[in-house]
Structure 1
Amino acid sequence: MKFRDGMWLTAEGMRVEYAEDVYNITQTEKGLSLLCPTRKIFQRGDTLNLSTLTIDIEAASDGIISVETTHWAGEAVKGPNFDLFPDGQPKIEPQITQGVKGTTLNAGALSATIHPDQHTFDIRFHSTDGSKALTSLLNRSVGLAYSPGPSNPMQTGDMRDFKHYIFTQTTLGIGETVHGLGERFGAFNKVGQSISLWNADGGTSSDQAYKNVSFWLSSRGYGIFIDTPGKVELEIGSERCSRVQTSVQAQRLKWYIIYGPTPKDVLRRYSILTGKPGKVPSWSFGLWLSTSFTTNYDEATVNSFLEGMKERDTQVDVFHYDCFWMKAFTWTDFVFDSKRFPDPKAQISRLKESGLVKKVCVWINPYIAQHGAAFKTAAEKGYLLKRKNGDVWQWDLWQAGMGLVDFTNPDAVKWYVDCLNGLFDKGVDCIKTDFGERIPTLDVEWFDKSVDAHKMHNYYAFLYNKVVYEALQARYGTSEAVLFARTACAGTQRFPLVWGGDCESTPEAMAESVRGGLGLGLCGYAFWSNDIGGFEGYPAPWIYKRWVAFGLLCSHSRLHGSSSYRVPWTIDEDNKSEEGCSRTLAKWTALKTRLMPYLYAQGAKAVENGWPLSLRAMCLEFPEDRTAWYLDRQFMIGDSLLAAPIFDESGEVEFYLPKGKWTSFFTDKIRDGPGWFKEKHGFGSLPLYVRENTILVLGKSGVKGAVYDYAQDVEVCLYQVTEGASAELVDNQGNTLGTLKIDPSGELEGKGLLKGSWTTSDNGREVDELYSKTIEWL
């Protein structure tokens, strides 16, 4: 939303009024309240016939300050509202001081200072110790706008024909970059972009996003969380090049500025504000295999998939039934298609008893088709969203005559959970919560009359996933619940995990997916996945294999397509060579399995701190390296592993290593950073580098499945370690066993934690020399 036409003119059809003065500062219980007229006040008569904006600046927590701008305070405050500080708000005693630089509010590590001159609109946000200037609200940076612009103030007595906006413009420093705002598939650095935070089913090749998160991270050591689930419009250096403009159609706009100083610190504080990611079970890190979307399948097909994977040396930990486990025209009615699955409970039991798979997942959504068994009950009992005239809200987009579950109705929630429990009774262990983006805002009435329909559009994702996640927790235990969700908003990181949505089977789409995962990770999402091989289309064998390498280095890994299967032998006519799809998948699945002691320990750190496990943007680990803020084709896996997917059929790849010594995981060769490097790889490898001073614990070679004893028969690999280098050791339930550590003499402490025939490798790991023939340094 742009309010100006360049520097000098107001946009056509707009009226814009800016806070020009800080006429009065009042101390409140939590901070300061600023009365800001929209023209400078020099005499008493100047106070008449003008608008004012109230800016409330409050200490929310250590390093967190809220800023709320209000025009007309009488606007009805409707929900839903984000569930902030879900684990309890830390106590903070705001401190207010006055000095030559103005009035300062201190919230622990973060402060805000208001300029002492009433006629100079200037609010500065900075570290309390004065070491870091963060951002500011300067001249003409806070305002209100009307569209169309009224020609006479009397016209605003009837607001039905006017739209009213509140906006703020925080300054952008020279060279400052902006990241996050959810799972966005365009350029990683958002400066220069116009972004609307509005959930939409737009695939991965547009400016629409399934997961719009109202939080962005700055390279200057702070983040901003916009506290509204309604539609937010951002102009990030795209209306004024030196400012980030945030606007909402409302009478109020509230946001929180969160100080670091490091980006990891920002995310840690953000996770306190909006919630920490939930813990996921170890089995969920294994390979997931799907039936795909519109393909035909039954018990024989499923068995053939899993037996074929076993024959080709690949263990599947989770099998996923997509839409057509239910009959056509009946989604979602929670009823297995009796023709294809006459006894689903027995079939699922047989699958698990065979050892072909550990867990089973099924696809659902909150859309209830008119022709399904569930619709009549849901409609009659008032469990579906209604139109204002009392009709059930329905349309024919997606499912014929579908309605939408009204999760603001407690009875509807109970009914939906009862439906889920019916699936759990049949042996279903986890749920793919698809859709939830197309939530209507016009001509609708929610059961909870206190909610605003426009705010419900994005927030519905939170309610939907919360209901399903908590149902899984109630059945299987707090730490055993896991989703595969597509839509999200701020706070939904509490209900892991999410996947990237509908991507094409192209290298460009794989790069889009990487950017999406990086951006979402910078919004506090610890766990993320994507459709290996691409969802739409038919991947060429080389794309499939390169995507397999990328996908098995994500926190979670799923093979899934649309109208074609993703089992490897269907991709390349069952090429059985070492470079074929089947052997490539087997190698990368085996590698991820060996990495589980590292991945699961790093996952616990990610949950505790609100950090992404994978994909972790390079700037989180190397914030002082300016190049790291622009890297969107590579990522960290936890603290110590760097991966660079390959997007070219030739196998050539260019990547960047920050300062330090980096060891190739596949060859033990060492590179010195910082610098750009080029390599050429076969399908069994990619640039995977281990950071210096790392203790990397690997599971026993040949182990099958993600769940095993992470302290038994392991290989402890040391990479240029010095005193103090350490690695947490956890079991497959996430319990901390202890710490491996390098002592002052250079010896490894904590060996008593290890069991069986464990080994230590002092300069890297025991590598397969065959890789030296397939990796070329260019």
Structure 2
Amino acid sequence: MKFTDGYWLVRDGVTLQRPAEVHDIEVREDSLRVFAPVTRITSRGDTLNKPVITVTFTAPRADVIAVEIEHFAGARQSLPRFDLAAEATAPVIERAGEGEGETVTFTSGRLAARVALHGPWHVDYLWDGDVLTSSTARSVGYAQVEGEGPYVLEQLSLGVGESIYGLGERFGAFVKNGQSVDIWNADGGTSSEQAYKNIPFYLSSRGYGVLVDDAGPVSFEVGSENVTATQFSVPGERLRYEVYGGGAPLEVLDRYTARSGRPPQLPEWSFGLWLSTSFTTEYDEDTVLSFVDGMAERGIPLSVFHFDCFWMRGFHWSDFVWDPATFPDPRGLIAKLHERGLKVCVWINPYIAQRSHLFAEGAEQGHLVRTVDGDVWQSDLWQAGMGLVDFTSKEATAWFTGKLEALLDDGVDAFKTDFGERIPHEGIVWADGSDPLREHNFYTQRYNQAVFELLERRRGEGEAVLFARSATAGGQRFPIHWGGDCESTYEAMAQSLRGGLSLTSSGFGFWSHDIGGFEGTPDPTVFKRWIAFGLLSTHSRLHGSNSYRVPWLFDEEAVEVMREFTRLKQTLMPYLLATAENTARTGHPAMRSMALQFPEDPAARTLDMQYMLGSDILVAPVLQPSGEVDVYLPAGRWVHLLDGEEVETATGTFLRRRYDVHSLGLFARAGSEVLAQVRG
């Protein structure tokens, strides 16, 4: 959200006040409070009739500084709040200097905030004494917007050449500089500014991260309102954000995920190939078994079979009852799939259609979200007359997960937790009194957590797996997440990859996407290129909207390509499991951008058409019909995993290669264990 009209003016309908100077400070054992009036105080009369901005610094963990900017401190603390793990840390608070140069420094571990006590407002954030970013005289603001109310904003400076990454799943340019980003979950596909997974955390190439600790609609202007600053703003009377030190980007993510949560260790079977019925296609038990047996007959190893929406009857979503016309014996079918060595996943969502027998039950028992008038909130968007499970209620959560117990009794192993983005925020009341504006984004956290914890209870720790679409900060604790509804084109492959790299730059360890794309039917060559990309992602699923994704429906070469890359992933399994264990321990994403892995290499900072799978494998998918791909190899010696090409470079080099559908840009570090595993 922009508040200014160029550099000099404020936008029409906006009043904007900024701290002019530090008038006083209050030092406590665990905090530093700074009181900054919006005008300079030259006489006693200046203390009347004007706001004071209060800025409080605390240290929730070593190397982390939390900053809270308040106008009216009596404003109600809005729920929900992110679940952030604290660790007892004793900050060091010191005054230094004299006269105009006097400062007070608040230090947490190796990270410090240095506040100027005289002159214009100025705070430097330092790592080992070096300035990372600053809040300057035109940074902090309290705005009143006509017709909307108050906002609090902050701007942190951008240095020359500094790049910003993250902010969740974003399908546009990987580097966020120059972009306006609104943190607001939406079901918008993969080709717009909307995203399913919005995370108010960004990562800087200068070695720090920033989390805006607000579950609501945070607005970011990344070098777009002030081209030398990242601005973030929230509605209300206070803004809380945290600065994460760390040096290298992966070290920053280590600190961030230590606070926001890390994924658990995932079961080996989840890394294999998932096959879906697709969405609106016709299917029954015979269809399912023909697909599964067809893959086995062609030597393509499967790990999971997924039943999408129409395992239930149309107009009944969700009632969690198998459609008797197509699946008269679900337990028997699941047993047959288990006998074939497969796990079983079924699609669910938290929207209860009016025709579902659960609607009347949920309404009567008070488990569905209600309007301010006391009615059950309903919509025809998605399912006719649907209501919404109120996960702010422990009773409603237990009611919902209790309905899933029967599916686990049937033998279901995992759930695809779809949707969770189209959450109303006007005219409704949540059971625990949460702010509807902030519950909009946070709803997905409650939803995914409830289902994940059910799976942990029933299947045991280390066996729980979701296939989730929506998320907020901390959602990485409930993996896996996939990229949502993309088209079936090369362009959509690139969009999906950018979204995945952006998400994993925001603290998420694992990521997947629909091989072949979701909307439409891909050209056979696109499908084959997507197979290679999909099976060299952390998790791999064949899924579509109105057409099947079994390879023999495309051509026989697609069968060969599927077999080759599925078997390659099996060969890579020891490496992938070790990488996943490291992700669970450190928060380092298993699939990561070149900028995360090689922050010292300027050429890597903007690359968004290739990535690292773990620390030793470089993947550059083919994203154009010609089969050409430009691959950047950082300094070192690299070996192509499939054809054995060796490249040694002292400073990094770009290669242009043309690959047929049986290959792609796929290099490993020379001397790495994974290279020996694959090439012997």
Asked if Structure 1 and Structure 2 have the same fold, meaning a TM-score greater than 0.5 normalized by the shorter chain, the answer is yes
Distance 2:619 2:581 in 1: 20
Partner of 1:187: 173
Q: CA deviation at 1:523?
A: 1.2
TM score, norm. by length of structure 2: 0.98
Partner of 1:582: 559
- Is residue 277–residue 524 contact of structure 1 (8 Å, CA) maintained in 2? no
Partner of 1:654: 630
Alignment of 1:140-219 (within 5 A): 140-148=138-146, 162-219=148-205
Distance 1:459 1:680 in 2: 45
Q: 2:93 is aligned with what amino acid?
A: I
Distance 1:685 1:273 in 2: 40
Q: CA deviation at 1:690?
A: 0.7
Output one character per residue of 1:120-173: Cα deviation in whole Å (capped at 9) or x when no partner: 21100001x32x31000001210111112xxxxxxxxxxxx5511000011011
Report the secondary structure of 1:98's partner residue.
strand
Partner of 2:342: 358
Partner of 1:314: 300
Partner of 1:61: 61
- Is residue 420–residue 444 contact of structure 2 (8 Å, CA) maintained in 1? yes
Output one character per residue of 1:255-284: Cα deviation in whole Å (capped at 9) or x when no partner: 000011110110000011101112211000
Structure having the higher Rg: 1
Q: 1:190 is aligned with what amino acid?
A: K
Distance 1:279 1:24 in 2: 49
Distance 1:59 1:361 in 2: 42
Distance 1:529 1:337 in 2: 28
Distance 1:407 1:517 in 2: 27
Mark the CA change 1:116 to 1:78 in structure 2 (over 3 Å): closer, same or farther: closer
Partner of 1:394: 378
1:457 aligns with 2:440: yes
Output one character per residue of 1:278-322: Cα deviation in whole Å (capped at 9) or x when no partner: 221100000000000000100000011111111211011100000
- Is residue 170–residue 498 contact of structure 2 (8 Å, CA) maintained in 1? yes
Q: 2:51 is aligned with what amino acid?
A: S
1:416 aligns with 2:400: yes
Output one character per residue of 1:615-674: Cα deviation in whole Å (capped at 9) or x when no partner: x11112111001111010000010100000001112111011111111111122211230
1:92 to 83, 89, 93: 89
1:689 aligns with 2:667: yes
Q: 1:103 is aligned with what amino acid?
A: V
- Is residue 234–residue 246 contact of structure 1 (8 Å, CA) maintained in 2? yes
Report the secondary structure of 1:245's partner residue.
strand
1:529 aligns with 2:508: no
1:490 aligns with 2:458: no
Distance 2:614 2:373 in 1: 53
Partner of 1:229: 215
Distance 2:298 2:122 in 1: 66
Report the secondary structure of 2:429's partner residue.
coil
Partner of 1:113: 114
Distance 1:693 1:82 in 2: 42
Partner of 2:482: 499
Report the secondary structure of 1:390's partner residue.
coil
Q: Which runs of 5+ in 1 are unaligned?
A: 149-160, 698-715, 718-763, 767-778
Distance 1:420 1:8 in 2: 58
Report the secondary structure of 2:370's partner residue.
coil
Q: Which contiguous aligned blocks of 4+ residues in structure 1 show a shift greater than 6 angstroms? A: none
The aligned length equals 674
1:330 aligns with 2:310: no
- Is residue 503–residue 536 contact of structure 1 (8 Å, CA) maintained in 2? yes
Q: 1:113 is aligned with what amino acid?
A: R
Distance 2:117 2:69 in 1: 20
Q: 1:15 is aligned with what amino acid?
A: T
Partner of 1:44: 44
| Farther-moved stretch of structure 1 (342-351 vs 554-563) | 342-351
2:658 to 658, 661, 680: 680
Partner of 1:7: 7
Mark the CA change 1:563 to 1:162 in structure 2 (over 3 Å): closer, same or farther: closer
Q: 2:474 is aligned with what amino acid?
A: G
- Is residue 618–residue 628 contact of structure 1 (8 Å, CA) maintained in 2? yes
Q: CA deviation at 1:44?
A: 1.4
Partner of 1:605: 582
Distance 1:694 1:38 in 2: 58
- Is residue 21–residue 117 contact of structure 2 (8 Å, CA) maintained in 1? no
- Is residue 38–residue 51 contact of structure 2 (8 Å, CA) maintained in 1? yes
Distance 1:587 1:645 in 2: 15
Output one character per residue of 1:75-112: Cα deviation in whole Å (capped at 9) or x when no partner: 01121110111xxx222111011112511111001001
Distance 1:341 1:401 in 2: 26
Q: 1:521 is aligned with what amino acid?
A: T
Report the secondary structure of 2:679's partner residue.
coil
Q: CA deviation at 1:398?
A: 0.3
Output one character per residue of 1:537-581: Cα deviation in whole Å (capped at 9) or x when no partner: 110001000000000001100000000001111123xx2xxxx11
Q: 2:140 is aligned with what amino acid?
A: V
Report the secondary structure of 1:182's partner residue.
coil
Partner of 2:123: 123
Report the secondary structure of 2:412's partner residue.
coil
- Is residue 22–residue 117 contact of structure 2 (8 Å, CA) maintained in 1? no
Partner of 2:461: 478
Q: CA deviation at 1:47?
A: 1.4
- Is residue 522–residue 611 contact of structure 1 (8 Å, CA) maintained in 2? no
Distance 2:215 2:463 in 1: 29
Distance 1:143 1:652 in 2: 49
TM score, norm. by length of structure 1: 0.86
Q: 2:58 is aligned with what amino acid?
A: E
2:572 to 585, 590, 595: 595
Alignment of 1:748-763 (within 5 A): none
